């Protein structure tokens, strides 16, 4: 797996698009400090893993070019060639939002999302996380320490993950979980089996099987008895069916005979009725000949009745007209009298209310007096009412002004008293405020006390947090101590699975106890400080409450003084306008006195009388109109009475006699008409008579024939009843046999069900017993596999560390010209160096240059082992300024080793500012990173032979 392409745009100082296609071999990256050499390869880290918490180099604010805008998109694309297939990892940032995707080229999208891409890179593409990547394939400046930032078991696990050994631990975890699940299932099944008595179930099943067999035998015997009863019932039903058939035939013949007899009787009755009708029709014909001459006089009688009815109607109209005339005359007189009474009621006021009112009562003719009264009331009454209203309105306004003046004067006196009381209240409140606000202002005092209390509470909370952290640390140490105490000295460590060296078990326990005691002592001291600070804070709380009460009292007094000042100002604002209103009322009234109640009542009474006269005019005018209308209509009715008095007189007795005669003749005519209608039906009656005679003869013949058939059938009703009784008895015996068989069958089903339940329960017990045994065997097998995998893991670890030691020892020997002959790693992969005298030393005792050489050898050896795993592993390594602390000979040796490693790593990127490294023949290509005046960086290719610039490696777009 090699780096095929690297594309950057707006990534830190690489503002313009940059597209690099690294070749295989060693590539040197040179340039001034800060130009962006390391930035090129940190971009790969950002594309793979994104930002890292606590690392300021990968914050979102640090990614875009500093001279640009957050709206500009920052993009990094890394293309890796894996066995001929290219994978492109793309990560971008714009306006603080990160996007990430992975493509299988050309454009097949595999994964989308920042966290999803990071997970896919770790698990599918690289097979390692960020820490492992930086510890092996990306050796950065001043960070050569082998797995910097990790130690102990974590470093051991990281190496195992890189070399693929950690999968054995994963398999162990799966086996452990499977074994635990199998044991839990076995225990659960055993608990269930303990609650089941298998022997009791076997005995109960045998007893149930015996009872079932006995019930089955009884059921079979009852079934045969039921079949015999069924045969008897079938025979009895056959005889009953034959008797029933004869019964139905005889019943049908008897019904037909009854019908024929009834039909013969109905036909005879109808014959008699029709012959009676023919005799009645002969009598009707004789009577019709007698009535026809008498009905011819009906026309003359009706003419005479019409003349008498006309005279009667004329007389009625005359009487009606005379009555209407008399009613109208009475109505006209009543209207006139009512008007005169009303005028008498309106008269009587002194002096006369209107001009011309007194002269009305000197007119003798009532109708003329009424007309004159209507005229006078129409012309004078309205004007007099208006004058009376103006006079009354003036009196009322004067009275109201006097009342308003008295009310305003009372209100003015009240306001002046309230102003004086408000001034006294303000003076009292100012004295209280002056006394309360003496000394330090309450607001400042309360704020100071609160700040002191909050500071004490914050410090107490901080001390409690420290105490809780120390307690957790002590508990963690105690738990580790108990785990190691439980483990025997010869056993392995429960955390790293490494055996204890001689005396190491007791030393570890002693150290853990000492650390635990220190942690608990620190926790107790922190708790004591927290409680002391909390007590002081509680004491301050009482002072805070007193300051709050003092401040609230001052605020209340200040608020009350403000309200009193507002009230005084409001009273002053109200007093001025009120004084002006009192002065204005006095000026309007002058020296006039207030009207008396008597004057007001007299004016109201005169106005009421004038209104009554005005309101009476419509009533008088209506009475006058009614009088004149009724008088004119009465004259018209008198002329109509005179006209209707001419013509013949009406004779009521003759009229009644003629109406009686007409009724008699109309009755005779109706009788004659009915006779003629009945005579018209004589042919129909005669035909019906002939048909009735024929039906009577046919019914008699049919009845005689049916009597013969009934005699021939020979039906015996007694034999019929006996056959029915035998069938009923046979059915009863069959039902009894069926009932007994059903009861036996139900008992057999119940016994069968119980036996099946017992057999199922026994089968369930046997199945659970089998499963429990299987789970026990499975747990044993899984335990053996777990132990075998543990042994396998230890064997692999034992093989990996010597191999890594051989690789690293060869490298350290070459780089130090044999000064250090061997490098070894302990169980946690801490480095120890051996000189030629077989003395070993920890790496911490060496100088910075020696330590860097040792760490570089360890890194390269581990990277070489990872690369040797297959073609899909990472095939490039980045060395960032690893030569700075080395002397000339060491640099030469490192370059020679790297030249040999080109066969192992497809690409080696060397970032360096050292001259002899830049001029080394090891390098197959040289890149120069430059920064211009605006802070933008670019990359140029150098000709490795001449050192001249070859081309600018920028994106042609």
Residue 947: pLDDT band with limits 50, 70, 90: low
Please state whether the peptide bond connecting residue 160 to the residue before it is cis, i.e. omega within 30 degrees of 0. Answer: no
- Residue 350, pLDDT score: 58
Answer whether residue 99 shows pLDDT above 90: yes
Q: What is the pLDDT of residues 526-578, one digit of tens each?
A: 888 888 888 888 888 888 887 788 778 878 878 888 888 888 888 888 888 87
Answer whether residue 648 shows pLDDT above 80: no
Which range in 39-53, 392-406, 535-549, 864-878 is most confidently predicted, on average pLDDT? Answer: 39-53
Give percent of the chain with pLDDT exceeding 90: 6
From 235-239, 405-409, 573-577, 844-848, the region with the lowest mean pLDDT:
844-848
- Residue 18, pLDDT score: 92
- Residue 488, pLDDT score: 55
Q: Say if residues 111 and 117 touch (Cβ distance below 8 Å).
A: yes
Which has more confidence, 624 or 531?
A: 531
Answer whether residue 98 shows pLDDT above 90: yes
Tell me the backbone φ, ψ of residue 847, rounded to 5 degrees. Answer: -70, 175
The stretch 157-178 carries a mean pLDDT of 75
Residue 92: pLDDT band with limits 50, 70, 90: very high
- Residue 97, pLDDT score: 92
- Residue 111, pLDDT score: 92
Answer whether residue 145 shows pLDDT above 60: no
The stretch 812-837 carries a mean pLDDT of 75
Please name the residues in contact with 732: beta carbons below 8 A apart, sequence gap of 6 or more. Answer: none
- Residue 679, pLDDT score: 76
Cα–Cα distance, 474 to 45 (Å, whole number): 38
Q: Say if residues 890 and 867 touch (Cβ distance below 8 Å).
A: no
Q: Say if residues 298 and 665 touch (Cβ distance below 8 Å).
A: yes
- Residue 841, pLDDT score: 67
The stretch 61-67 carries a mean pLDDT of 82
Answer whether residue 498 shows pLDDT above 60: no
Answer whether residue 101 shows pLDDT above 90: yes
C-beta atoms surrounding 468 within 10 Å: 14
Cα–Cα distance, 66 to 74 (Å, whole number): 12
Residue 949: pLDDT band with limits 50, 70, 90: low
Fold of 437-568: Helix Hairpins (1.10.287)
The stretch 109-131 carries a mean pLDDT of 87
Q: What is the pLDDT of residues 695-752, one digit of tens each?
A: 888 888 888 888 787 777 777 777 778 888 888 888 888 888 888 888 888 988 888 8
Domain ranges of the chain: 199-267+697-742, 437-568
CA-wise closest residue to 543 among 458, 460, 451: 451
Q: What is the pLDDT of residues 392-420, one digit of tens each?
A: 777 777 777 777 778 887 887 888 788 88
**3-class DSSP state of 595:** coil
From 685-689, 879-883, 925-929, the region with the lowest mean pLDDT:
879-883
Measured in whole angstroms, the distance separating CA 850 from the mean position of its chain's CA atoms is 69
C-beta atoms surrounding 406 within 10 Å: 13
Edge-to-edge strand list for the sheet holding 840-842: 820-825, 831-835, 840-842
CA-wise closest residue to 644 among 323, 315, 324, 327: 315
- Residue 495, pLDDT score: 45
Please state whether the peptide bond connecting residue 106 to the residue before it is cis, i.e. omega within 30 degrees of 0. Answer: yes
Cα–Cα distance, 29 to 926 (Å, whole number): 6
Cα–Cα distance, 156 to 147 (Å, whole number): 10
Please name the residues in contact with 12: beta carbons below 8 A apart, sequence gap of 6 or more. Answer: 36, 39, 43, 62, 63, 64, 65, 66
Cα–Cα distance, 367 to 882 (Å, whole number): 146
Q: 558-570 in b/e burial notation, b at 16+ Cβ within 10 A? A: eebbeebeebbee
- Residue 118, pLDDT score: 92
Cα–Cα distance, 796 to 775 (Å, whole number): 31
Cα–Cα distance, 205 to 703 (Å, whole number): 79
Which has more confidence, 55 or 823?
A: 823
Token pair for 322: 């005379």
Question: Residue 457: enclosing H or E segment and its boundaries?
Answer: helix 442-486
Residue 872: pLDDT band with limits 50, 70, 90: low
Answer whether residue 241 shows pLDDT above 80: yes
Q: What is the pLDDT of residues 260-278, one digit of tens each?
A: 888 888 888 888 888 787 7
C-beta atoms surrounding 77 within 10 Å: 19
Answer whether residue 496 shows pLDDT above 50: no
């Amino acid at each position: 797996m090699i780096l095929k392409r690297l594309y950057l745009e707006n990534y830190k100082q690489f503002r313009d698009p940059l597209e690099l296609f690294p070749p295989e071999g060693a590539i040197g990256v040179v340039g001034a400090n800060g130009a962006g050499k390391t930035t090129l390869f940190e971009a790969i880290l950002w594309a793979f893993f994104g930002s890292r918490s606590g690392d300021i180099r990968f914050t979102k604010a640090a990614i875009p070019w500093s001279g640009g805008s957050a709206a500009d998109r920052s993009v990094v694309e890394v293309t890796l060639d894996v066995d001929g297939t290219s994978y492109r990892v793309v990560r971008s940032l714009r306006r603080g939002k990160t996007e990430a995707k992975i493509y299988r080229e050309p454009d097949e999208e595999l994964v989308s999302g920042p966290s999803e891409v990071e997970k896919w890179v770790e698990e599918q593409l690289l097979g390692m996380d960020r820490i492992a990547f930086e510890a092996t394939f990306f050796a950065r400046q001043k960070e050569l320490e082998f797995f910097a930032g990790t130690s102990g078991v974590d470093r051991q696990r990281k190496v195992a993950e890189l070399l693929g050994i950690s999968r054995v631990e994963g398999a162990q975890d799966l086996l452990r979980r499977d074994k635990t699940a199998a044991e839990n299932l076995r225990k659960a099944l055993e608990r269930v089996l303990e609650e089941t008595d298998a022997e009791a179930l076997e005995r109960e099943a045998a007893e149930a099987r015996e009872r079932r067999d006995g019930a089955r035998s009884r059921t079979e015997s009852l079934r045969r008895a039921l079949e015999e009863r069924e045969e008897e019932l079938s025979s009895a039903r056959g005889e009953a069916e034959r008797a029933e058939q004869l019964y139905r035939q005889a019943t049908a013949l008897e019904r037909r005979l009854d019908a024929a007899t009834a039909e013969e009787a109905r036909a005879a009755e109808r014959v008699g009725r029709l012959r009676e009708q023919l005799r009645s029709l002969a009598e009707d014909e004789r009577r019709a000949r007698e009535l026809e001459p008498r009905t011819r006089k009906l026309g003359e009688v009706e003419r005479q009745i019409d003349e008498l009815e006309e005279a009667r109607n004329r007389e009625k109209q005359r009487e009606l007209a005379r009555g209407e005339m008399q009613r109208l005359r009475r109505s006209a007189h009543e209207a006139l009298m009512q008007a005169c009474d009303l005028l008498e009621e309106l008269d009587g006021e002194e002096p006369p209310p209107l001009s011309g009112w007194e002269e009305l009562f000197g007119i003798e003719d009532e109708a003329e007096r009424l007309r004159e009264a209507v005229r006078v009331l129409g012309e004078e009454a309205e004007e007099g009412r208006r004058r009376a209203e103006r006079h009354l309105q003036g009196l009322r306004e004067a009275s109201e002004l006097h009342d308003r003046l008295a009310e305003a004067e009372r209100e003015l006196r009240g306001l002046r008293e309230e102003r004086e009381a408000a001034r006294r209240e303000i003076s009292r409140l100012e004295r209280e405020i002056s006394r309360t606000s003496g000394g330090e202002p309450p607001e400042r005092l309360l704020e100071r006390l609160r700040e002191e209390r909050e500071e004490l509470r914050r410090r107490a909370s901080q001390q409690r947090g420290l105490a809780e952290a120390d307690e957790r640390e002590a508990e963690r140490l105690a738990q580790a101590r108990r785990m190691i105490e439980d483990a025997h000295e010869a056993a392995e460590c429960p955390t790293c699975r490494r055996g204890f060296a001689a005396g190491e078990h007791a030393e570890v326990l002693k150290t853990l106890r000492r650390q635990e005691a220190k942690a608990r002592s620190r926790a107790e001291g922190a708790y004591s400080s927290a409680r002391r600070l909390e007590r002081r804070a509680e004491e301050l709380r009482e002072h805070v409450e007193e300051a709050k009460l003092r401040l609230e009292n001052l605020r209340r007094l200040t608020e009350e003084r403000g309200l009193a000042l507002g009230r005084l100002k409001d009273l002053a604002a109200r007093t001025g306008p009120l004084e002006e209103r009192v002065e204005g009322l006095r000026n309007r009234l002058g020296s006039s006195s207030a009207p008396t109640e008597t004057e007001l009542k007299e004016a109201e009474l005169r106005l009421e009388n004038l209104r009554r006269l005005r309101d009476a005019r419509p009533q008088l005018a209506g009475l006058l109109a009614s009088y004149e209308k009724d008088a004119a209509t009465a004259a018209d009715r008198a002329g109509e009475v005179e006209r209707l008095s001419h013509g013949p007189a009406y004779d009521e007795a003759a009229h009644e006699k003629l109406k009686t005669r007409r009724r008699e003749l109309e009755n005779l005519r109706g009788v004659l008409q009915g006779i003629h209608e009945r005579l018209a039906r004589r042919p129909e009656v005669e035909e019906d008579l002939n048909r009735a005679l024929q039906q009577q003869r046919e019914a008699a013949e049919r009845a005689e024939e049916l009597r013969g058939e009934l005699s021939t059938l020979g039906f015996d009703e007694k034999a019929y009843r006996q056959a029915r009784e035998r069938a009923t008895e046979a059915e009863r015996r069959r039902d009894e046999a069926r009932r007994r068989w059903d009861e036996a069958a139900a008992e057999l089903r119940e016994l069968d069900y119980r036996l099946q339940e017992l057999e199922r329960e026994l089968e369930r017990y046997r199945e659970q017993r089998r499963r429990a045994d299987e789970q026990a065997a499975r747990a044993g097998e899984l335990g053996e596999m777990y132990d075998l995998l543990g042994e396998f893991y230890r064997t692999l670890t034992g093989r990996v560390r010597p191999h890594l030691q051989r690789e690293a020892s060869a490298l350290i020997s070459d780089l130090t010209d044999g000064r250090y002959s061997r490098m070894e790693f302990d169980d946690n992969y801490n480095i120890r160096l051996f000189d030629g005298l077989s003395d070993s030393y920890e790496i911490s005792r060496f100088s910075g240059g020696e330590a860097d050489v040792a760490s570089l050898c360890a890194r390269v050896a581990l990277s070489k082992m990872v690369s040797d795993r297959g073609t899909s592993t990472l095939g490039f390594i980045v060395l960032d300024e690893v030569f700075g602390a080395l002397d000339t000979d060491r640099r030469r040796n490192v370059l020679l080793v790297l030249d040999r490693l080109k066969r192992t790593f497809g690409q080696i990127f060397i970032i360096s500012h050292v001259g002899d490294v830049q001029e080394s023949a090891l390098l197959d290509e040289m890149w120069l990173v430059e920064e211009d005046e605006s802070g933008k960086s670019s990359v140029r290719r150098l000709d490795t032979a001449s050192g001249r610039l070859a081309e600018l490696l920028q994106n042609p777009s």
